[in-house]
Structure 1
């Protein structure tokens, strides 16, 4: 009977979904009259930017000689944008892109036509913020032409920039990749214009006389909710394998480059109201593009006081370690290399750095990441006298074919007689639109263990704009979580997991996307006992609440409020699984975490940021305040104030206070 009820619910849900989706799609096609207007199948997605001996003035006005030449050269123009989720159906409001280049820059000019310019949405002012709240355009360039990875550059009508890097055909997005590039915008009676200049020195590519790169262009009309794209990608914007092609016929300047960023800082540190100390610091970061496909990055005594503190989180499963994202610039570039089923390298294991260096790049079908760091194991922003270790990391991946790759990861952490070594081999095979298959096996060696520990993972998944699924089997050895180099959320477990999701875009105002999903896991430990069972379930009590809300007070001021609450107690749950009822007993305890974030963008280059937290985990409240000024491209001044207090004790004693001033300067050679 229970099975019949489940199937009845399922078919009712599918029926309602089919009717709703059909009506939405029908109204959408009526709106755009897409049956009569389709992009011809013969359309060629290949552009040839014009070479210009005269650098254009990046001011948002397309009156330079290079743009006049590009407008007269059809092969240098990208137009015929289509709706991102409807493929061949053309956009109602046109977007035209002109392309040019010289020895040092690649240039793009967008003409974004808009019938009612008063509907242009341009509120954001913070660089690298989510531009999806504003009208914006993007250029996505696959300089390796591996049809898998690409750089993206976005700009709004207010000339707010965003950049990043995507890998694995859009599966991985590194929003923290950053470089110096130039743009300008203008709003006119016909819509708005964006002019972009990207230096070749910021990009990695092979030096060939004729360069063939993957390319795509994107535009968001926020008011209408229209997402249009030059080359249809099947719904996923960063599906690089479906991009068009850009050909640069002339050679360009790729001499070795060197960027040096020294800093000086001073701080006053209060351990109590009476006890305080002073400290001066100096350090340097540097990066060199030795050859067009290899970058060396180094750092000596870096300081990260300007980075926002980690918010406290409630851990519902004490046996599982919380995951904290990386925020430090030295580790951000190249993070996409380590997204494997079993994460053997987790940079948050590395604390205060004395020095570090890394090589990243690719050669032919081989990509590599080699790093050596001298640091302690302190958590970021936590002061400690922990001993220093040496961390050595190697990651390589080789594209055997366009649809198959083989990877190797090795991590070594040691200090005197202490050592942990972890190695792993992984492979990926893409069966087109059907599915992608991943396999990984990893081995850990520690002198105190009698034997080496082996773990492995096998999975298949499909990500698309509509139907997505994933399934797999993994076996994580007992004590493998003690590797001290990676993020292994649990060990001594083996079992199956699966999930399915269906997404669709109703194109209704106030509604971005609707998705239906289901999931299930079944694990046992290595003694055959049930380790976990998670599936569709109903809870009788509300024992955990997590809420967050972000809103704009003005176009320059944004406030984010968050709250976590956990009440641990006996609870009864019903599962769709092998067990009908599961009762768990836990101590009664109430935990609250309140978080307020306040961001104020005074100008494009001057901002203020405040982070307030009251945590019931340790009965403390935290204040982080920061003022930052970008006084020159890539150069900054920061003034920071941090304070921690214990609010449950009489007098709310001070746990720590820091007043910090830092300045850095970017030198590009």
Structure 2
């Protein structure tokens, strides 16, 4: 593969200054958070109604802090049967998140169909119960039952959990009336959405003459959060009514954003006490073998046995750091790529689906990330804007799909590797080292990637990235730094610089 000349004559050359844009708010009625007349406010939503345009805008800016929900502890003597009925006594005692506000089609107005959400927990599991009332339940739209279904094609409820309460990152879980599951890891308020992440959680749904109901059970070992006796998380709920093209949120999101990814505008989940993420150690060994009999009826049998094995391990080093280790990696169980027909002279983009590279992969993104993409379907959720499935693949400094593949697309065995990802205080860290075996004309290669990103200001970050590909007679190194500043609601400034060092490249 020819390495493009990125630096010429000078020792430093800026190879990209990302996009700088300013989108002014439309003139007209601003988004209001006031409770509609004739409706009582719930205990989870104690906000005032502004009397003027400026007052309503001020209420919107403080809305996320006003939306508070208290989780209810499940008594030791009670258990929740996950069946979707929400008939346990604890659900009636739990605090209610209701009075959802539309983002589409009538921004700022109450949702046309009531929705209620509740949160209950015990020492091992977080339970989320949702009642989605519907005056015409026979008109619910359920188009898919597969895992990671398309969120835009039917009725959906979705929840986001900002477990570190950093107003930037979170876990997302969604389902439809048929009980299909969708989940994702989201970083930087949706600039990176990893919907190929598969967490351990369970959901059941029911449909009756008045509503469809949801019971989710999310083990705490699936989530990462800070150590502490008392937890405060960010939380928000979204409901989509497909036949009405309606989207509504508990903690409202303005139309210009229109995505549950924006956890800086989410509500607050309180009341979580004495919970722990658990040991978080998973080991997956595998053994494969084959026996071939080449006997042709002669007196001496000719049998050939071949065997192999390997192991994958995942360990939560701390509440924020995860270590993945693999030996003699086998990816035979990985979901196959969707077939694509390429009628252009450009390479096709296939997303990463191998578990070893997936969790926390957002830390290895460089530059502005997926601006405007990943908002719908299998790539994200909770948004109506942007081209469906759009991905900013014009700047991917590190693309893990090239590891374990030859130049002509043949798979190459991976001998061993390790990966450390997560966060320590204001820093997000990523370290990956993996050894690829030799195959044909491709020599043995070691891949090393290091990424450090520092959160600054309210929603900005600075980062550095180093990559090294060590192979005989053709080592390559890449250095890069990026800065992503996000001011107010509508001003983004991205800058990045990178350099490639390789034999013969000046």
With normalisation by structure 2, the TM-score equals: 0.73
> Residue 183 of structure 1: CA displacement?
1.3
Pick from 434, 444, 461 the counterpart of residue 388 of structure 1: 444
Residues 171 and 186, structure 2, Cα contact 8 Å, conserved in 1: yes
Tell me the SS of whatever aligns to 1:218.
strand
Matched, 1:184 2:204: yes
Matched, 1:297 2:320: no
Pick from 337, 362, 382 the counterpart of residue 336 of structure 1: 362
**Structure holding more strand per residue:** 1
Separation in structure 1 between the aligned mates of residue 396 and residue 276 of structure 2, nearest angstrom: 38
Q: Which residue of 2 aligns with 1:357?
A: 418
> Residue 181 of structure 1: CA displacement?
0.5
Q: Which residue of 1 aligns with 2:103?
A: 84
Separation in structure 1 between the aligned mates of residue 290 and residue 240 of structure 2, nearest angstrom: 44
Tell me the SS of whatever aligns to 1:356.
strand
Q: Which residue of 1 aligns with 2:310?
A: 283
Deviations 1:337-374, CA, capped at 9 Å, x for gaps: 23324432111221131111111111221111111101
Q: Which residue of 1 aligns with 2:82?
A: 58
Structure 1 gap ranges (5+): 1-20, 27-33, 71-75, 270-276, 379-383, 452-669
- Cα root mean square deviation, aligned: 2.9
Deviations 1:411-443, CA, capped at 9 Å, x for gaps: 111024542111111111111222211111112
Residues 145 and 180, structure 2, Cα contact 8 Å, conserved in 1: yes
Matched, 1:100 2:120: yes
Separation in structure 1 between the aligned mates of residue 463 and residue 69 of structure 2, nearest angstrom: 34
Deviations 1:463-519, CA, capped at 9 Å, x for gaps: xxxxxxxxxxxxxxxxxxxxxxxxxxxxxxxxxxxxxxxxxxxxxxxxxxxxxxxxx
Pick from 425, 428, 434 the counterpart of residue 490 of structure 2: 434
Separation in structure 1 between the aligned mates of residue 243 and residue 474 of structure 2, nearest angstrom: 59
Pick from 305, 316, 319 the counterpart of residue 344 of structure 2: 316
Pick from 170, 173, 177 the counterpart of residue 150 of structure 1: 170
Deviations 1:112-166, CA, capped at 9 Å, x for gaps: 1011121122242211121332222111111121211111001121111110012
Separation in structure 2 between the aligned mates of residue 304 and residue 120 of structure 1, nearest angstrom: 38
Q: Which residue of 2 aligns with 1:541?
A: none
Tell me the SS of whatever aligns to 2:93.
helix
Structure 2 gap ranges (5+): 1-25, 30-34, 42-46, 50-62, 293-303, 368-394, 405-412
Residues 267 and 279, structure 1, Cα contact 8 Å, conserved in 2: yes
Separation in structure 1 between the aligned mates of residue 130 and residue 169 of structure 2, nearest angstrom: 23
Q: Which residue of 1 aligns with 2:431?
A: 370
Equivalences for 1:538-617 in 2 at 5 Å? none
Pick from 346, 349, 354 the counterpart of residue 399 of structure 2: 346
Matched, 1:207 2:231: no
Separation in structure 1 between the aligned mates of residue 284 and residue 456 of structure 2, nearest angstrom: 38
> Residue 222 of structure 1: CA displacement?
2.0
Structure 1 residues 118 and 397: alpha-carbon distance in aligned structure 2, compared to 1, 3 A threshold: same
Separation in structure 1 between the aligned mates of residue 101 and residue 272 of structure 2, nearest angstrom: 28
Tell me the SS of whatever aligns to 1:337.
helix
Structure 1 residues 305 and 267: alpha-carbon distance in aligned structure 2, compared to 1, 3 A threshold: farther
Tell me the SS of whatever aligns to 1:141.
strand
With normalisation by structure 1, the TM-score equals: 0.56
> Residue 89 of structure 1: CA displacement?
0.9
